[in-house]
Amino acid sequence: MKVNNKKFFFIFNGYASRNKTITGGETRSITLAKYIYNQGYNVSFCCPTNFHVAEDMSDLNPFYYRTLPCEERFYNFLPALLVIYCYRVFASVFKILKSKSDILISTSHLFPDVLPLFFIKNRNIKSIVIVHHILSEQKRIGLRSKLAQIIEKFCFFIISKRKSYILTLSENTRDMLINKYGFKDKSIYVTKNGLDLKFINSINTPLKKKYDLCFCGRLSMTKGVYDLIKIVKIISNSYPNITCAVVGDGGEKANMMADIKNNKLEDNITMLGFLDEVGKYETIKSSKIFVLPSHEEGWGMVIGEAMACGVPVIVYKLVDILNIWKDNVTWIDCFDKNSFAVNIIELLKNNIKREQYIKKSLNFANKLGWDSILKEEVSAILSNS
């Protein structure tokens, strides 16, 4: 294998998941890191010692820093979370300097992944920042969200000052970065997510248990998990035997289970928790419709995964992903739960329409193999480094 001279360093400081839950952004960054490594480049990364995919990346050159005691108990307590992130920032700076890398890749544009760039004074070290979606453009409320928006703007200042090259997944996000946040068009590359089509197609043993609906994602309010419960409740009034599989874990799990019980939906909604990739795809393939009432998505990787599984998708009409999935999914006006339920019922009743969506979905998903996407992306990174 040819060995190249460039040394890459990935910053994974933003990890704050529980129970092995992994975000789409993490999955994408890990896939990029592995691809670059397989092209013969020297690839390092930093992360906490309890980063749940670190072992899977052990072929790369890891720079671990110690996980603070009991830190997972404090992820929902903002002052403690800021302390954790500040510690990670300073720990990662030492790891970056030790690695003597040429190209730094911040796996998000947020505080823990971007602030290390502020302390790297060597301008010969180029920086790349992945912007999944802009928090300030989401309809979040509360003190925590306001503070996050202020910090995000500071991160944009650092990115601009450092003259970092930006990777983003959405034309809408690129336009927002240019028109509202002052970035130059030439400093932004719009890429896309890909799918491991070979692996997905190898999962050909659906479960004996069949579901009408499937949801897969982090159990958080931004993923619309309570909308999901309300949608199933609406459907159950007409179809009391409706079934929905929920794949994933997260901070809202206990509250969701209580809400399901209060709505007497224990027989309708099955909480499957975290599943490995095989279990996830088996569950999706054992379902008639994939539903994603998410309030925020930067790209919606799970949408493509469901489409590649041959399952039609119903999703809220989020501006960031409209131009990505076009007419290959069923769009629902945000955040119309009644309309969501009506469209589910219509699709469940109409086998012909469902088959048409399956065919269209598979044709679209089959164009999303990783190799060509990442080849062009790495070429863009190198040409701007």
Nearest to 88 by CA among 118, 47, 53, 51: 47
Q: Is 246 left (phi over 0), alpha (psi -120 to 50) or beta?
A: beta
- Residue 20, pLDDT > 70, answer no
pTM reported for the whole predicted model? 0.83
Q: State the pLDDT at residue 343.
A: 97
Who has greater pLDDT, 363 or 18? Answer: 363
The yes-or-no answer to whether 7-194+369-383 and 197-365 have a common fold is yes
Tell me which fold the domain 7-194+369-383 belongs to.
Answer: Rossmann fold (3.40.50)
Tell me the C-alpha distance between 211 and 267, whole Å. 12
* Of 16-30, 74-88, 209-223, the least confident: 16-30
Going from the C-alpha of 88 to that of each of 45, 67, 81, 126, 223, the distances in angstroms are 13, 9, 11, 21, 26
Please say whether the dihedral angle defined by the alpha carbons of residues 273, 238, 361 and 373, taken in this order, is positive or negative: negative
17 near 82, Cβ under 8 Å?
A: no
Q: State the pLDDT at residue 225.
A: 97
* Element spanning 190, H or E: strand 188-190
- Residue 4, pLDDT > 70, answer no
69: confidence class by pLDDT, cuts 50, 70, 90? confident
Q: State the pLDDT at residue 209.
A: 86
Superfamily for domain range 197-365? Glycogen Phosphorylase B; (3.40.50.2000)
* Of 139-143, 164-168, 278-282, the least confident: 139-143
378: confidence class by pLDDT, cuts 50, 70, 90? very high
* Of 42-46, 151-155, 204-208, 279-283, the least confident: 204-208
21: confidence class by pLDDT, cuts 50, 70, 90? low
Average pLDDT, the chain: 90
Tell me the C-alpha distance between 312 and 361, whole Å. 7
| Span 241-281, pLDDT tens digits | 999 999 999 889 999 999 999 999 999 999 999 998 999 99
33: confidence class by pLDDT, cuts 50, 70, 90? very high
Backbone φ and ψ for 265, nearest 5 degrees, come out as -115, 20
Q: State the pLDDT at residue 67.
A: 87
| Span 81-98, pLDDT tens digits | 888 999 999 999 999 999
What does the domain layout of the chain look like in residue ranges? 7-194+369-383, 197-365
Q: State the pLDDT at residue 2.
A: 47
What value does the CA radius of gyration of the chain take, rounded to a whole number of Å? 21
| Span 306-347, pLDDT tens digits | 999 999 999 999 988 998 999 999 999 999 999 999 999 999
- Residue 72, pLDDT > 80, answer no
Alpha helix stretches (DSSP H) within the chain: 24-38, 78-99, 111-119, 143-161, 171-179, 197-202, 225-238, 253-262, 277-285, 301-308, 319-325, 337-349, 351-365, 370-383
